[in-house]
Amino acid sequence: MRRTACWLAALALAGVALAPWYLVQDRLSDIDWSGGWLAEPDHAPALSQALLFGRGWLWPVVAACLAAPAVLLLPGRTALARALVGVGGLGLAALVLQGCAIGLNGWRMPALELLFGPLDDRQFGIGIGATLSAFALLWMLTAGLAGLGLFRGDPFTAGAVGTIALAVGLFTFFPVASLLTDAFRTGEGGFAVGALIGRLGDDRSWGLACLAGAPRCGVAWNTLTLGLMTASGTTTLGLAFALLVTRGATRFPKALRTLTILPIITPSFVIGLGLILIFGRAGLVNQILFALFGIEGGRWIYGLQGVWLAQMFAFTPTVFLVLIGVVEGVSPTMEEAAQTLRASRWHTFATVSLPLMRPGIANAFLVAFVESIADFGNPIVLGGNFGVLSTEIFFAVVGAQADAGRAATLALVLLVFALGAFWAQTRITGRRSYVSIAGKGDRGVHPPLPAWVRRLCLGVAMPWAGLTIVLYAMALTGGFVETWGRDYTPTLRHLLRAFDLEWSAHGLIWSGVAWNSVWT
């Protein structure tokens, strides 16, 4: 521990005395590393910032780092460990507090300005020096905790846990909390619980006027309805595909597996585009209906049904990947034991196999629900007048509203929906044990599906597979005709415009408009 503390003290000193403390606005190579950076206000380390430029708020952090070498002089393991906890904890707390108290425009909170007076200075984000010092102080704290007996006395394990905790807090909880606090911000910039209550009661979020014949309901109900529909549909489809691939005795299981996971590598807007090319106003189905029966095509693909259909294609692969491991993980020995006791295929499937799959099915439902309520690409392409929380949050931020408070409130509702789904999943599966333990590995063979279950799975999965093939065929062929829906003359014009190549006196020129995006 003393050797570790020695290295950490050296790192802390380098952070406050040698490296630029604040975020460098230009390149690091532009800094005068011969020594001039020590006297530049934008590049100076914390010690120079406090001594030369009057930034006294850095003194607590500097003092903690300067005190680190003195800690090494303490005799005894316990005294050293307690000193490391004190220096590391106080220094890290001082760094966080001064970072949160002062920003680009001086004091961040009016109370601090009333207490200390106006501050005409500013500070940017942390730079190399602050990062090194923060890392050293954190590991001093964790090394001290390990020296006191925590983490089984292992400084590396303690430091790793501390680093992960800091990273999660800094890059997850802090920005989410900062965003959600805007839900309590009033129009004048203050904070009040009434601001959140007023936004939550907005009819645009929770209105049920659609039940009385109005064109739309609140976006919260729309999101919840869409999430439940998508989770139910994708879980049913994913389970059907998983059963067919593992127990359905199909002729082409590998092809079926490949077709099932194909949408997971496809951007969501491609699926939406394919659906528009098939079912849109100028889509293939509407053109066939008009040519054969004179029926004018509608715009039904835009709205709840279109978004739901697109999400079914987009998220079934994720559910399938969750459930195929669940289906394959059911113990064949237990199923064989049930059949040995003269249980029929259906009885074995219903009383042994399916109950053991229940936690996996609940997990798949949860994943699909969260994916659905967080989806943005499909609702923005196919939503039309059907708004959901994700699109409303986007438009509240970048649209003409510019209402960060409404966006934060809707994000809070979205978070509550996700946590509610997780709570329901744990309530359903958390009270029972679904683990089967044997003294040796399972080498049995899963029994085939009952005949009518297999037919039901085929009836559910095969139409989806066929529509998937048509969907991708439409999306691909749409790039090789002049104008989809009007002029089906084959052409390579779009391909050449995107990926054209030219030779010049200076060599090869990537002149296609898509090359920059491909390289990026």
Q: Say if residue 40's pLDDT is above 50.
A: yes
Higher pLDDT, 97 or 257: 97
The CA distances from residue 177 to 189, 376, 403, in Å, are: 17, 22, 17
Give the separation between CA 24 and CA 253, rounded to whole angstroms. 56
Give the separation between CA 479 and CA 141, rounded to whole angstroms. 59
Phi/psi of residue 219, nearest 5 degrees: -65, -25
Give the separation between CA 107 and CA 156, rounded to whole angstroms. 37
**230: its two tokens:** 């998508």
pLDDT, position 92 = 92
What letter does residue 170 receive in the DSSP assignment? I
Q: Which of 407, 404, 382 is nearest to 392 (CA)?
A: 407
DSSP 75-123: -SHHHHHHHHHHHHHHHHHHHHHHHHHEETTEESSHHHHHHH-------
pLDDT, position 331 = 79
**20: its two tokens:** 């630029």
pLDDT, position 340 = 87
**What average pLDDT does the segment 17-32 reach?**
79
Q: Which of 21, 115, 6 is nearest to 59 (CA)?
A: 21
The CA distances from residue 389 to 204, 205, 364, 372, in Å, are: 11, 8, 22, 11
Query: Strand pairing partners for 508?
Result: 503
Q: Per residue in 352-362, pLDDT tens?
A: 888 888 888 98
pLDDT, position 130 = 92
Q: Say if residue 401's pLDDT is above 80.
A: no
Q: At what angle do helices 2-17 and 59-71 cross, to 10 degrees?
A: 150
Q: Per residue in 213-258, pLDDT tens?
A: 766 788 889 999 999 999 999 999 999 988 888 887 677 777 777 7
- Give percent above pLDDT 70 in the chain: 93
User: pLDDT tier at 439 (50, 70, 90 boundaries)?
Assistant: very low
Q: Per residue in 162-184, pLDDT tens?
A: 999 999 998 999 888 888 888 88
Mean per-residue pLDDT over the chain, rounded: 84
Q: Say if residue 440's pLDDT is above 70.
A: no
Give the separation between CA 304 and CA 299, rounded to whole angstroms. 12
Would you say 279 and 285 are in contact if contact means Cβ atoms under 8 Å apart? yes
Q: Say if residue 133's pLDDT is above 90.
A: yes
Would you say 143 and 155 are in contact if contact means Cβ atoms under 8 Å apart? yes
Q: Per residue in 462-515, pLDDT tens?
A: 888 888 888 778 778 878 888 876 788 899 999 999 999 988 888 888 889 999
pLDDT, position 162 = 93
**Tell me, what amino acid is at 89?**
G
User: pLDDT tier at 259 (50, 70, 90 boundaries)?
Assistant: confident
**What average pLDDT does the segment 104-114 reach?**
81
Q: Say if residue 131's pLDDT is above 90.
A: yes
- Give percent above pLDDT 90 in the chain: 21
